[in-house]
Amino acid sequence: MEPVPVNKNGYFVMNIDKGEQASGGRDAVVLGHIGNNSGDCSGVTFEFKTLKLDSFTVHTDDNGVLWLIIGTDSGFEGKTSLYYTDIKLTLTETSR
């Protein structure tokens, strides 16, 4: 299903179940934690991280269309800066 914004009580949310913060939902999985290891949230402390998911089963629609969402969900009540330097995806067709 194509992810689109829907108005829910005056707020826009996605029409998919992505879960909340560290808990994935029916339509999304959590790959890891984006916090730095220093625990210092007062300054600019960037840290390289490798987050990996070995296997995840998805289904396309009847036309072979698949929607991929990459994002973050943070409960930190302040500015969060992230830089995605490399994203790799391998799709392998299987029979249903």
Region 71-92: what's the mean pLDDT? 84
Confidence class for position 96, pLDDT limits 50, 70, 90 = low
The residues, any chain, with a CB within 8 Å of residue 64's CB and separated by 6 or more, are none
Region 1-12: what's the mean pLDDT? 93
DSSP string spanning 13-46?
Answer: EESS--EETTEEBTTB--------TT---SS---
pLDDT at 57 over 90: no
Among 54, 47, 49, 45, which residue's Cα sits nearest to residue 78? 45
pLDDT > 70 fraction of the chain, expressed in percent and rounded: 94
Region 75-81: what's the mean pLDDT? 77
- Where in the chain are the domains? 1-96
